[in-house]
């Protein structure tokens, strides 16, 4: 986030929106992980870590 501030207001706003979108998606995915594809690297270990990985990539 600090890097975005140094680069200017528009960059900072975009980074903030991305951060908030990831935070909201993490909650949604973690509530119903079975309805989402498991990340290939996690296979059967999806659970909360899978939810975080999916939210990060969303």
The 10s digit of each residue's pLDDT in 5-55 is 444 555 555 665 566 555 555 655 566 655 555 556 656 655 666 666 667
In whole angstroms, what separates CA 41 from the centre of its chain?
16
Number of domains in the chain: 1
| pTM given for the model | 0.23
CB 22 within 8 A of CB 58: yes
Parent domain of 41? 20-58
Look up residue 1 and give its DSSP letter. -
> For residue 14, is it within any domain?
no
CB 1 within 8 A of CB 15: yes
What pLDDT, on a 0 to 100 scale, did the predictor assign at position 12? 59
> For residue 34, is it within any domain?
yes
């Amino acid at each position: 986030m600090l890097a975005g501030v140094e680069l200017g207001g528009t960059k900072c706003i975009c980074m903030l929106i991305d951060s908030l979108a990831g935070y909201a998606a993490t909650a949604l995915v973690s509530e119903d992980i079975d309805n989402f594809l498991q990340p290939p690297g996690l296979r059967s270990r999806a659970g909360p870590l899978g939810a975080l990985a999916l939210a990060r990539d969303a």
